[in-house]
Amino acid sequence: MRFFDNDDDVVWSEHIIPDDYQGYPGVVHGGIQSAILDEIVCRVSLVKDMHHFMVAAKMDVRFRKPVPTGTLLRFEARREHLSGSRGRAMGRIILPDGSVGTEARLLLTDIPAQVRRQGTDELLGWRVD
């Protein structure tokens, strides 16, 4: 997945999830949906500071509608509050008709110190295009 942001408080991506990741025929597995939302929502902390990566401390996921495989989906995350080492943000999987398939609210916290000491970018193999 490729991620984009608005230089303020939103991160988004568009992607087609292949059938390899279905839970039920034609439906993206809930664990895959949750993993993608975790990934995109945690990135909201990077919008203003590319070195302030945060991780989920708590995640509440609501599965509203089946999310289809093999279909272009939109993934969005929005920062609600970020102060110091803590934050709150939400994410959504938006279906082609504009409705919300899945939504999540996350409490964020700074990445653990032992990981930061190793060099986050190098450890995660990230690069900025």
CA distances from 58 to 61, 84, 86, 96, 126 (A): 10, 17, 11, 28, 24
| Structural domains in the chain, sorted by start | 4-123 (3.10.129.10)
* pLDDT by 10s per residue, the chain, length 129: 999 999 988 999 999 999 999 999 999 999 999 999 999 998 988 888 777 788 899 999 999 999 999 999 999 999 999 888 899 999 999 999 999 999 999 999 988 776 666 555 565 665 555
Q: Residue 112 and residue 55: Cα distance in Å, rounded? A: 9
51 CB contacts (<8 Å, ≥6 apart)? Answer: 120, 121
The two three-digit tokens of residue 6, written as one number? 């608005």
* Cβ proximity of 45 and 51 under 8 Å: no
